[in-house]
């Protein structure tokens, strides 16, 4: 049975998929030749032989098909993702936020961040204190 | 460390490096009365500085030895610490230092930055800032904000001759005209005292 089924596959496969057949069937090729001789002796296979052989052949095909599709047909991107697309995707939702916690400096009236010294007044007052300290020393 | 109780900021340094950094900062603080660093470093240095001044107030042989171990230049600074600073804070029950947030010092990383200063010292920026606020309110004929009044009270409370020193500072700061040229009451284009 197995001999027959291997014979069939071996005979029609190279014609359909020459590349696959040449690679994946190479190791078992000698055995198929032996079986081919055996099959020629009995000329025509009986009906019962075929009936049993076919389901077994079907069960073996999927594993072969897995090899067939390797590297031939796969869903792949058609184009490289552009720099712009990639940066937009990676930085989505990470834009800088507006600073809304602002108030007026009580010493100069300028706008400053809340809970933070006004940098203008800090510089001028700090400079004044520094100069006074140096004068004393 | 992940998820655990962190008792102090590690400041991305190993122990010896961190210890050296904090000693450097506290030495500079005692020397210059004020240092500007990142906010987390200022807060960590504040702890050490408060402890150092407590040692100065204890003022015995043990505390003197411990303070020598903290400062990097004890020969220059121990007299100041055990003299001037000890007397300045004699009546103050803790809270000898102050951390004020400032605009980021580094434009590059925009890290939180702060000033660490000795309270009631010659570089007390909160004192000068409050005086500047009072000066501006006086110039514009406004009543003082409750926060300004509270700040004035805090800033003059333990300072010797506090109120007089404050009034003097108000005069001095008023002369600076912090609001710029057009900051007089006649061309100030904003609503008074809200
Ligand atoms: Zn200001």
**What percent of chain B is predicted at pLDDT more than 70?**
91
Task: Give the pLDDT confidence score for residue A55 in this predicted structure.
Answer: 56
Cβ neighbours for B24, distance < 8 A, ≥ 6 positions apart:
B72
Task: Give the pLDDT confidence score for residue B45 in this predicted structure.
Answer: 96
CA dihedral sign, ordered B136, B139, B140, B145: positive
B162 or B10, higher pLDDT: B10
pLDDT per residue over A3-12, tens digit each? 445 545 444 4
Q: Do A125 and B125 touch (CB under 8 A)?
A: yes
pLDDT per residue over B129-184, tens digit each? 999 999 999 999 999 999 999 999 999 999 988 899 999 999 999 888 877 654 44
Task: Give the pLDDT confidence score for residue B2 in this predicted structure.
Answer: 64
Confidence of residue B99 (pLDDT cuts 50, 70, 90): very high
What is the Cα–Cα distance from A57 to A2, expressed in whole angstroms? Answer: 9
DSSP secondary structure letters along B59-99: -SHHHHHHHHHH-SSHHHHHHHIIIIIHHHTTT--S--EEE
Q: Do B145 and A106 touch (CB under 8 A)?
A: yes
Q: Which residue from B125, B148, B180 is facing A106, i.e. has the nearest CB? A: B148
ipTM above 0.90, yes or no: no
Q: Which residue from A125, A132, A136 is facing B129, i.e. has the nearest CB? A: A125
CA dihedral sign, ordered B106, B107, B111, B115: positive
A34 or B59, higher pLDDT: B59
Mean local confidence (pLDDT), B112-124: 94
Q: Which residue from A108, A133, A136 is facing B179, i.e. has the nearest CB? A: A108
Q: Using 70 as the pLDDT threshold, list the residues of chain A that sit under it.
A: 1-72
Averaged confidence pLDDT in chain B: 89
Q: Do B176 and A108 touch (CB under 8 A)?
A: no
Task: Give the pLDDT confidence score for residue B188 in this predicted structure.
Answer: 43
- Which residues of A are less than 8 Å from B178 in CB distance? 107-108, 120-121, 124-125
Return the CATH fold of B15-118. Answer: 50s Ribosomal Protein L17; Chain: A, (3.90.1030)
pTM listed for this prediction: 0.70
Single out the residue of B62, B70, B94, B77 nearest to residue B30, CA to CA.
B77
Q: Classify residue A62 as left (phi > 0), alpha (psi -120 to 50) or beta.
A: alpha
pLDDT at residue B56 is higher than 70: yes
User: Which residues of B, range 158-187, sit inside 8 Å of A by Cβ?
Assistant: 172-173, 176, 178-180, 183
Instruction: Give the other-Cβ count within 10 Å of B23's Cβ.
Output: 17
- Find the chain A residues whose C-beta atoms sit closer than 8 A to any C-beta of B: 106-110, 113, 115-117, 119-122, 124-126, 128-130, 132-133, 136
pLDDT per residue over B155-165, tens digit each? 999 998 889 99
């Amino acid at each position: 049975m197995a001999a027959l089924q291997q014979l069939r596959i071996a005979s029609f496969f190279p014609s359909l998929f020459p590349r696959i057949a040449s690679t994946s069937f190479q190791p078992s090729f000698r055995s198929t030749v032996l079986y081919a001789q055996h099959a020629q002796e009995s000329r025509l296979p009986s009906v019962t032989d075929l009936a049993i052989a076919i389901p077994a052949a079907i069960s073996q095909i999927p594993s072969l098909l897995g090899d067939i599709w390797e590297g031939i047909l796969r869903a792949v991107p058609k184009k490289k993702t552009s720099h712009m697309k990639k940066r937009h995707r990676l930085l989505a939702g990470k834009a800088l936020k507006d600073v809304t916690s602002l108030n007026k400096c009580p010493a100069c009236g300028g706008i400053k961040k809340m809970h933070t010294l006004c940098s203008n007044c800090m510089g001028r007052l700090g400079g004044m204190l520094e100069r006074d300290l140096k004068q004393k020393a | 460390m992940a998820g655990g109780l962190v008792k102090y900021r590690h400041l991305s340094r190993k122990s010896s490096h961190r210890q050296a950094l904090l000693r450097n900062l506290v030495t500079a603080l005692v020397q210059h009365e004020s240092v500007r660093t990142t906010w987390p470093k200022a807060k960590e240095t504040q702890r050490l500085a408060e402890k150092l001044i407590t040692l100065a107030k204890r003022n015995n042989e043990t505390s003197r030895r411990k303070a020598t171990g903290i400062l990097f230049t004890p020969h220059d600074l121990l007299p100041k610490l055990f003299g001037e600073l000890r007397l300045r804070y004699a009546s103050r029950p803790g809270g000898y230092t102050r951390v004020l947030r400032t605009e980021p010092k580094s434009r590059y990383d925009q890290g939180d930055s702060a000033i660490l200063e000795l309270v009631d010292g010659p570089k007390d920026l909160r004192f000068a800032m409050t005086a500047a606020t009072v000066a501006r309110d006086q110039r514009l004929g406004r009543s003082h904000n409750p926060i300004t009044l509270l700040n004035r009270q805090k800033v003059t409370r333990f300072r010797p001759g506090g109120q007089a020193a404050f009034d003097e500072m108000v005069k001095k700061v008023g002369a600076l005209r912090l609001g710029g040229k057009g900051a007089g009451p006649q061309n100030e284009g904003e609503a008074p005292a809200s």
